[in-house]
Structure 1
């Protein structure tokens, strides 16, 4: 009889452990989904940029989005610009928002990691109860006081928790890259806005110089008209030029106000009362080192963020797949339980318990299937966004390289036009004062000189802004603080990272 009872006990224990054994068998049959580089997004990788025939070929390299960018704006040799960029680094609201989103992503990562650790809690309570299903087992009310610790731990048999943690980690990496991208964007916007403001100020000074010359001509023409040497038509022509030039000067003043206000917002300051100190000299035009274009994707933080988003979406597909399998949670508790509050913490009132809980939804109305389908759709969207970011990166570099190449030739031709127009104005003024040419010819020469000098200013400003645009497209500068950073490349699609291969020696 005793043997029979012992066998029955073992059978009952075996039956209780069957669900856990089944879960462990399933765990051995199903592997945890692993993160892999996303499939090729269909972007044809160019061997070199069309605007730079000497660019090296592309090859595979390690990601370098975290490498230092250097203070690239210092290459313009403008202390006012240096100060503005530093002020924007601390006051720009877009950077503050990006930093807050990064802090949130890191907090979510800590929360996801915490789910993988044992959960410990304390509990205490007092209950008054009666009935067959209570501790007293009878109709007489009884009091039960409890106090203890509860411990639970979920076994991550199918990688659900680890996949969720991986996704949160990749989200944090993407936010860090987006903060880097926002910082570079703000620096570029400050530099371009400042350079445009300086250009408008220089153009305003040029128009004022022309206005002074027109006003001098007007005074001379008025005296000659009063003396009867010229007709009223000549006087009207000069008055027209003076009024038109004054209008252009006011239009440039308006542009200055708009650019100054935009610069104030970029710095996170109030536009009212915001001023920009005068520049000590004209900003220099940085030289582009040879071979830089071949490293376009080396440090592009936006491309890195797009790839991290793809991997995070892939991890969440694994989380959705793991929801089809059982969840096993180990629980334990220990403490005291007593019908008398005064006896609660006596050694005889101690109690403990351990357990294992296996849960598996059987019918959920298609909820898990819908969640997995949604995760796969988000993965497809992230891959499309990644491809678009790569295409944008190539386009931006091609745009700026082409612009700089053409602007260099345009600047040279425009300088020749300025020299010729200035000489033509000098000759026309001399001939007009000697009565050899008409006033109309002098006014035409001055208009031509003003137009060509303003175009030369605009071309130089375009060169400066295109240089800043190229720096932004390359993911940063190439100074000492960024040494070596332009020798590798950014994540592209298909598990590859593009970089420039070293030229053959």
Structure 2
């Protein structure tokens, strides 16, 4: 009968080893559309999957080698990214610490002592020496049986937090890449603005020379001359402003790629970036690839495991302890039979009264789960809005760009007519100034819209987690 009872106890212990008091995990439910309003979709919405990632070099759709080189330099030298990587390494190390709780803990100790005992020590024998040696060496073992899944849930929560930290690293990397791409697009637009203003300055300088000649020949008035001078000076001021903006943008790019602003310089780009073609349809499942959503989902899982840890604290904690070693009074073999000591047995720890501490811990764990779930839903809704915003921007800016280009063509035609008419003496120079100013503004507005389109495309690529291919 005794062996059968022993086997039954062993089976019961093994069964309890698989017990977990954490609630069954389920990703928070979300009522989301199956497609984006701005585009049709070819698939329904699904919850975030942390393992689903996109190709990291999403910026290559712009086909610019200098941008690619800057992005590679950012990955190597950006200090904020290095800090995020160190934080991820720390999270991984903490998770490995939690894993150690699943295994027996064995320690070794040694203690050679020379000591004196009090003459008035209770129960001291008359033959005991006052000063003596005490040499002790041994091993200690402790193993938590984890019958209620407390340690296993701590490990699961630690692993989930480490996965969330990996996603946080991806979020930091993508955010810095987006900043760099947006700044590079802005720099490209400023270079194009400089080219437009430089061409206009040449035209205005020629117009001023013509007006000065006509003034000297008493064909044009001094008013025409001052208008031409004012127009040229205003265009030069606009060019100075663009150069100032370019300097600030260049400094910001240098900081992102880990270069001091004093040493960093990018030559002006003679060709503007092309707007990449986007797919005709974008499935909502692309949002599964966003690292911030994946991180939020992993934190919901970790908070759910935390409930299991808090609930397990209500139950008795069973552990197995053991000691093995030897002790002498300064001489002799520590491992001889007479000097050895050992102990082996279970330890049970059961909470009786804690003043509400355990109840507070469980309520805290449930509140943290509710907080993590709400944050996950908020993150997904924010992600959907970001995609919709950039899709709408690209659509609206495309039509606005077409309209503005038509206005720029008309303004250029008006400028040419006004210039020829002035040379023929049919109109005043005010008509030329008005036409030239309108043409310049229209050209700059066309270029500004192109830059905004490029920035919206960067926003869409990053809102989808880093592109639409993978």
Q: TM-score of the superposition, structure 2-length normalised?
A: 0.90
- The match for 2:441 is 451
Distance in 1, matches of 2:101 and 2:127, equals 41
Q: Any idea what SS the aligned residue of 1:298 has?
A: helix
Larger deviation, residues 315-324 vs 365-374? 365-374
**Are 1:253 and 2:236 counterparts?**
no
* Residues 280/203 of structure 1: CA separation in 2 closer, same or farther (3 Å cut): closer
**Are 1:388 and 2:378 counterparts?**
yes
Kindly indicate whether the alpha-carbon contact (under 8 Å) linking 2:137 and 2:327 is maintained by their aligned counterparts in 1. Answer: yes
* Residues 139/349 of structure 1: CA separation in 2 closer, same or farther (3 Å cut): closer
Structure 1 residue 241, shift from structure 2 partner: 1.2
- The match for 1:4 is none
**Are 1:326 and 2:313 counterparts?**
no
Distance in 1, matches of 2:282 and 2:20, equals 44
- The match for 1:33 is 22
* Match for residue 58 of structure 2 among 72, 90, 95: 72
**Are 1:477 and 2:464 counterparts?**
no
Q: How does 1:241-280 map to 2 (within 5 A)?
A: 241-279=231-269
Kindly indicate whether the alpha-carbon contact (under 8 Å) linking 1:132 and 1:139 is maintained by their aligned counterparts in 2. Answer: no
Kindly indicate whether the alpha-carbon contact (under 8 Å) linking 1:78 and 1:281 is maintained by their aligned counterparts in 2. Answer: no
Kindly indicate whether the alpha-carbon contact (under 8 Å) linking 1:78 and 1:279 is maintained by their aligned counterparts in 2. Answer: no
Distance in 1, matches of 2:457 and 2:92, equals 35
Kindly indicate whether the alpha-carbon contact (under 8 Å) linking 2:84 and 2:172 is maintained by their aligned counterparts in 1. Answer: yes
Q: How does 1:17-28 map to 2 (within 5 A)?
A: none
Describe the superposition over 1:150-174 as per-residue Cα deviations: whole angstroms up to 9, x where unpaired.
1111110111111111110000010
- The match for 1:500 is none
**Are 1:44 and 2:31 counterparts?**
yes
* Residues 322/203 of structure 1: CA separation in 2 closer, same or farther (3 Å cut): same
- The match for 1:96 is 82
* Residues 186/65 of structure 1: CA separation in 2 closer, same or farther (3 Å cut): farther
Describe the superposition over 1:24-55 as per-residue Cα deviations: whole angstroms up to 9, x where unpaired.
79959975325502432xx4311322111x32
Structure 1 residue 462, shift from structure 2 partner: 1.0
- The match for 1:352 is 342
Larger deviation, residues 420-429 vs 398-407? 420-429
* Residues 137/272 of structure 1: CA separation in 2 closer, same or farther (3 Å cut): farther
Structure 1 residue 225, shift from structure 2 partner: 2.0
Describe the superposition over 1:252-301 as per-residue Cα deviations: whole angstroms up to 9, x where unpaired.
11110111111111112211121114436321211011222433412011
Q: Any idea what SS the aligned residue of 1:58 has?
A: coil
Structure 1 residue 61, shift from structure 2 partner: 7.3
Distance in 2, matches of 1:110 and 1:229, equals 88
- The match for 1:193 is 183
- The match for 1:439 is 429
Describe the superposition over 1:452-486 as per-residue Cα deviations: whole angstroms up to 9, x where unpaired.
1111101111111111110101111245xx2xxxx
Kindly indicate whether the alpha-carbon contact (under 8 Å) linking 2:404 and 2:445 is maintained by their aligned counterparts in 1. Answer: yes
Q: Any idea what SS the aligned residue of 1:284 has?
A: coil
Kindly indicate whether the alpha-carbon contact (under 8 Å) linking 1:98 and 1:182 is maintained by their aligned counterparts in 2. Answer: yes
Kindly indicate whether the alpha-carbon contact (under 8 Å) linking 2:300 and 2:376 is maintained by their aligned counterparts in 1. Answer: yes
Structure 1 residue 394, shift from structure 2 partner: 0.6
Q: TM-score of the superposition, structure 1-length normalised?
A: 0.84
Distance in 1, matches of 2:123 and 2:262, equals 75
Distance in 1, matches of 2:59 and 2:18, equals 57
Distance in 2, matches of 1:251 and 1:279, equals 18
Q: How many residue pairs get matched?
A: 458
Q: What value does the CA root-mean-square deviation take over the aligned residues?
A: 2.7
Structure 1 residue 419, shift from structure 2 partner: 1.7
- The match for 2:41 is 55
Q: Any idea what SS the aligned residue of 1:291 has?
A: coil
Kindly indicate whether the alpha-carbon contact (under 8 Å) linking 2:84 and 2:169 is maintained by their aligned counterparts in 1. Answer: yes
* Residues 254/378 of structure 1: CA separation in 2 closer, same or farther (3 Å cut): same
* Residues 432/66 of structure 1: CA separation in 2 closer, same or farther (3 Å cut): same
* Residues 133/370 of structure 1: CA separation in 2 closer, same or farther (3 Å cut): farther
* Match for residue 420 of structure 1 among 410, 425, 445: 410
In structure 2, stretches of 5+ residues that fail to align are 3-8
- The match for 1:206 is 196
Describe the superposition over 1:436-466 as per-residue Cα deviations: whole angstroms up to 9, x where unpaired.
1111111111111111111110111111111
* Residues 151/399 of structure 1: CA separation in 2 closer, same or farther (3 Å cut): same
Describe the superposition over 1:377-417 as per-residue Cα deviations: whole angstroms up to 9, x where unpaired.
22222112111101110100000111111111112222222
Larger deviation, residues 271-280 vs 204-213? 271-280
Kindly indicate whether the alpha-carbon contact (under 8 Å) linking 2:160 and 2:298 is maintained by their aligned counterparts in 1. Answer: yes
Higher relative contact order (CA 8 A, sep 6+): 1
Kindly indicate whether the alpha-carbon contact (under 8 Å) linking 1:335 and 1:352 is maintained by their aligned counterparts in 2. Answer: yes
* Residues 218/301 of structure 1: CA separation in 2 closer, same or farther (3 Å cut): same
* Residues 76/379 of structure 1: CA separation in 2 closer, same or farther (3 Å cut): same
* Residues 169/299 of structure 1: CA separation in 2 closer, same or farther (3 Å cut): same
Distance in 2, matches of 1:462 and 1:29, equals 57
